[in-house]
Amino acid sequence: MPVLVMKFGGTSVANLDRIRRAAKRVGVEVAKGYDVIVIVSAMSGKTNELVGWVNETSPLYDAREYDAVVSSGENVTAGLMALTLQEMDVPARSWQGWQVPLKTTSQHASARITEIPTDNINGKFAEGMRVAVVAGFQGISEEGRITTLGRGGSDTTAVAFAGAFEAERCDIYTDVDGVYTTDPRICEKARKLDKIAFEEMLELASLGAKVLQTRSVELAMRYNVKLRVVSSFEEQSDEAGTLVCDEEEIMELNVVSGVAYSRDEAKMTLISVADRPGIAAAIFGPLSEAGVNVDMIVQNISEEGRTDMTFSCPTDQVARAEKAMLDAKSAGDINFHDIVADTAVAKVSVVGIGMRSHAGVAAKMFQVLSDEGININVITTSEIKISVLIDRKYMELAVQALHDAFELEKTAG
Ligand code: ASP
Ligand code: MG
């Protein structure tokens, strides 16, 4: 029988009523003839609560015990979902990660999946079980310890199962009805996309559109898993939601598919560093060791052998970045006159696969921002994305103006 993977996020299993509702959706797919693998998150808010308990108990916690605690939310929903299905006379049982066993690396709290053997679950399907309910987000390391895959990790569990079981599709049930051209809370003209290419989704996911964990999209792209983002709160047809798929399956590629933003950005500038070979390595090496996620980088032209180096990172990493730079300065590895942090900036990006074959998108974006009187601090581009760093107070205006200028309200999706 064909296999379908259905993943239910925290809000979709937030209480017993919602679990019943989700189970009914599963029942519909079983009736259609699918063997279903259901991946569940913890009830909404549960993982945060568990993380809070760990921090309160032990601020410098042992990551192995952190994983033992925070993985437990999913165990509860997996069991409850299996019970609910059984009450509906659907043959189902639950599986914790280690029972599958979903094998991972030993990087606790951000483990990577290394293997999902299919024989256990397939054996049960062969005996007539119709639904395997699997606790998302968790696995087992080579040392036999429980691991978790990082926040939002059940998306990745779901896609990995879809890949391993060669599922027809992986449906991600969530509290939004799909992927939008931009955030509808900021721009009322935002439209739901019917289809979006993996690469575009990857850019949007990593740019702060929080629908899917970025790694799940990477995995879907690698194994060509058809991913559908769909609301668990609306009546569903097979065409509902947004299909994240290979670009070959999209008839007309949009030049621009979406405008993404990320609010919590900071811009840091090292003023007057010596412009010599190895200077970038001497700056960004320590930043990376300090766990600072540097995003955009600009090096100015130098004057008299000295230059300014600007980079962006998340606002909550500014203190860490400053410390790393001051330490490197005291160690004599780098030398600068001053370090300046601007924590009131935001990143706005336009994303679209059609940009590859279309000139002029950047020019148009800059013109739109200029017409609105918005100053651009830093620019970066990739083949299918242009990002700018601007003052945060203009972020919403920029998103709306770009959405209008690229006529995204008209995208066919
Ligand atoms: N419950 C975990 C979290 O909140 C994993 C997930 O829901 O994807 O991050
Ligand atoms: Mg999620």
Please name which ligand lies nearest the alpha carbon of 97: 1
For 317-374, write each residue's pLDDT tens digit. 999 999 999 999 999 999 999 999 999 999 999 999 989 988 899 999 999 999 999 9
| pLDDT at residue 125, as a whole number | 98
Q: Are 269 and 309 in contact (CB under 8 A)?
A: yes
For 211-230, write each residue's pLDDT tens digit. 899 999 999 999 999 999 99
The rounded mean pLDDT for the chain is 94
| Listed range (52-56, 144-148, 223-227, 230-234) with the worst mean pLDDT | 230-234
Q: What count of other Cβ atoms lies within 10 Å of the Cβ of residue 398?
A: 23
pTM recorded for the entire structure:
0.86
Q: Which of 76, 151, 155 to mutate to test ligand 1, by most ligand atoms within 8 A of the CB atom?
A: 151
Residue 385 Cα to ligand 1 middle (Å): 28
What phi, psi does 384 have (nearest 5°)? Answer: -125, 20
How large a percentage of the chain has pLDDT more than 70?
Answer: 98
Q: Would the CB of 138 count as within 6 Å of ligand 1?
A: no
| pLDDT at residue 208, as a whole number | 62
d(CA 321, CA 300): 20
Number of helical H runs and strand E runs in the chain: 12, 18
Nearest ligand 1 atom to the CA of 10 is: 7
- Give the three-class secondary structure for 255: coil
Give the HSE-up count for residue 263: Cα atoms under 13 Å, Cβ half-sphere.
Answer: 7
User: Which residue, among 300, 283, 301, has the nearest Cα to 292 in the 3D structure?
Assistant: 283
Residue 212 Cα to ligand 2 middle (Å): 6
| pLDDT at residue 176, as a whole number | 86
Quick one: tokens of 361? 């998108």
Q: Would the CB of 153 count as within 6 Å of ligand 1?
A: yes
| pLDDT at residue 236, as a whole number | 66
Q: Would the CB of 151 count as within 6 Å of ligand 1?
A: yes
State yes or no: pLDDT of 10 exceeds 80.
yes
Residues, beta carbon < 5 Å, ion ligand 2: 9, 152
d(CA 359, CA 367): 14
Q: Are 385 and 201 in contact (CB under 8 A)?
A: no
Please name which ligand lies nearest the alpha carbon of 109: 1
Q: Are 140 and 152 in contact (CB under 8 A)?
A: no
Q: Would the CB of 137 count as within 6 Å of ligand 1?
A: yes
Q: Which amino acid is at 379?
A: I
Q: Would the CB of 97 count as within 6 Å of ligand 1?
A: no
Q: Which of 149, 154, 172 to mutate to test ligand 1, by most ligand atoms within 8 A of the CB atom?
A: 154
In DSSP terms, 259 is beta-bridged to: 350
CB under 8 Å, gap of 24 or more: what pairs does 118-121 form?
118/164, 118/165, 120/95, 121/37, 121/95, 121/165
Which of the two residues, 148 and 255, has the higher pLDDT score? 148
Q: Which of 137, 149, 159 to mutate to test ligand 1, by most ligand atoms within 8 A of the CB atom?
A: 137
- Residue 385: pLDDT band (50, 70, 90) is very high
Quick one: tokens of 295? 């995003």
Q: Which amino acid is at 9?
A: G
Q: Are 107 and 65 in contact (CB under 8 A)?
A: no
Nearest CA residue ID for atom 5, ligand 1: 152
User: Which residue, among 146, 10, 142, has the nearest Cα to 66 in the 3D structure?
Assistant: 146
| pLDDT at residue 93, as a whole number | 98
| pLDDT at residue 239, as a whole number | 67
| pLDDT at residue 302, as a whole number | 86
Helices (H), 165-261: 198-206, 214-223
The secondary structure of residue 260, as a DSSP letter, is E
| pLDDT at residue 209, as a whole number | 65
- Residue 238: pLDDT band (50, 70, 90) is low
Residue 105 Cα to ligand 1 middle (Å): 18
Residue 49 Cα to ligand 1 middle (Å): 12
> Residue range 165-182: average pLDDT?
93
- Residue 189: pLDDT band (50, 70, 90) is very high
Note if the bond before 101 is cis, omega within 30 degrees: yes
Nearest ligand 1 atom to the CA of 213 is: 8
